[in-house]
């Protein structure tokens, strides 16, 4: 159910093959998870065990999220912190320059045309 909610909130470009990369945790090897991926049209790509470089992007994202969102300010409650996550994720994906992407946001990696939302988004 969590995967279905996440997929519903995530727009996947038709040009990109939708995939879901996770480790070998038992929850990601279950039949229910495999069925959810199939139902959503996702390809489940696993990382190689004991190979940190395949987890590098995820680890870097987690480090950035902790520094810039979770612990950036003292939130009065966990609910306030959770409410800020969608705001931070939007900024991270649409506005925040990334060093590995020549100071462009991740959304720029999608091959969107000039008349697409990317140009219209502010």
pLDDT tens figures, 41-80: 877 777 777 776 767 777 888 899 999 999 999 999 999 9
The percentage of residues in the chain with a pLDDT greater than 90, rounded to a whole number, is: 26
Tokens 């939007």 identify what position? 90
Phi, psi for 21 (deg, rounded to 5): -105, 125
The whole-angstrom distance between residue 8's C-alpha and the CA centroid of its chain comes to 13
What's the mean pLDDT when you consider all of the chain? 75
User: Tell me, what's the pLDDT at 14?
Assistant: 34
Interatomic CA distance for residues 107 and 20, integer angstroms: 17
Q: Which of 43 and 99 is assigned the larger pLDDT?
A: 99
Measured between alpha carbons, how far is residue 8 from residues 58, 87, 103 in Å? 21, 17, 28
The most confident of 69-78, 97-106, 111-120, by mean pLDDT: 69-78
Q: Smallest Cα–Cα separation from 9: which of 86, 63, 120?
A: 86
pLDDT at 105: 87
Q: Give 102 or 3, the one with higher predicted confidence.
A: 102
Its pTM stands at: 0.57
């Amino acid at each position: 159910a969590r995967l279905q909610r996440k997929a519903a909130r995530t727009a996947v470009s038709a040009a990109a093959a939708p995939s879901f990369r996770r480790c070998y945790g038992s929850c990601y090897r279950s039949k229910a998870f495999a069925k959810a991926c199939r139902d959503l049209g996702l390809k489940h790509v696993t990382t190689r065990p004991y190979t940190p470089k395949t987890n590098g992007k995820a680890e870097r994202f987690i480090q950035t999220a902790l520094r810039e969102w979770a612990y950036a300010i003292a939130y009065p409650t966990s609910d306030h912190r959770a409410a800020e996550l969608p705001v931070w994720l939007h900024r991270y994906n649409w506005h925040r320059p990334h060093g590995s992407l020549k100071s462009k946001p991740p959304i720029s990696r999608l091959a969107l045309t000039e008349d697409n939302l990317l140009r219209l988004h502010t």
